[in-house]
Structure 1
Amino acid sequence: MPNLLKQFKSLLPDSPLLVGEVLSISNNILTIELPDGALITAKGDATVGQRLFVRGGMIEGQAPALAYVEVDI
């Protein structure tokens, strides 16, 4: 018999990988600004001004400091 929970979870999309800059840190909770100006929070160790990859509210690693370019198609 198939596992219904696994089948249900396979229908849900994965959390996207986001990149942003740390604006503030309070009690190990980071406030991160995304390139579109949205603010999110995440847990982890970082410093203010650092660019990070974030997925599901957790830091995945340091992101390179590259220019943001948006292209309309």
Structure 2
Amino acid sequence: MSNIYKRLLGILPNDPRDKGEVVAVNPDGVTVELVTGARVRVRGAAQVGDHVFIRGRQIEGPAPALSGVDQTV
């Protein structure tokens, strides 16, 4: 019988998916500012101001331009 934990890891994606806004276009891809404020350079094509999903330093596709809301009670 195989290890169930290893089987679970085998079906999960290796890299998490992040969302961010394109802040610069470079010759080899784009720079994306994540929701956390971190900036990463990724492969793919997009325009400045576009919101994109990224995984593994590559653009997966467009993302909705939603902003977070802090609600204090």
TM-score, length of structure 1 as denominator length: 0.74
Contact 1:28 1:45 in 2 (8 A): no
TM-score, length of structure 2 as denominator length: 0.74
Identity over the aligned pairs, expressed in percent?
40
Q: Which residue of 2 aligns with 1:41?
A: 41
Q: Give the Cα separation in 2 of the matches to 1:63 and 1:31.
A: 15
- How many pairs align? 65
* Regions of 4+ moved over 6 Å: none
Q: Give the Cα separation in 1 of the matches to 2:33 and 2:60.
A: 16
Unaligned runs of 5+ in 1: 1-6
Deviations 1:15-66 (A, max 9, x none): 0000000000110321100111101110111000000000001110000011
Unaligned runs of 5+ in 2: 1-6
Q: CA RMSD in A?
A: 2.4
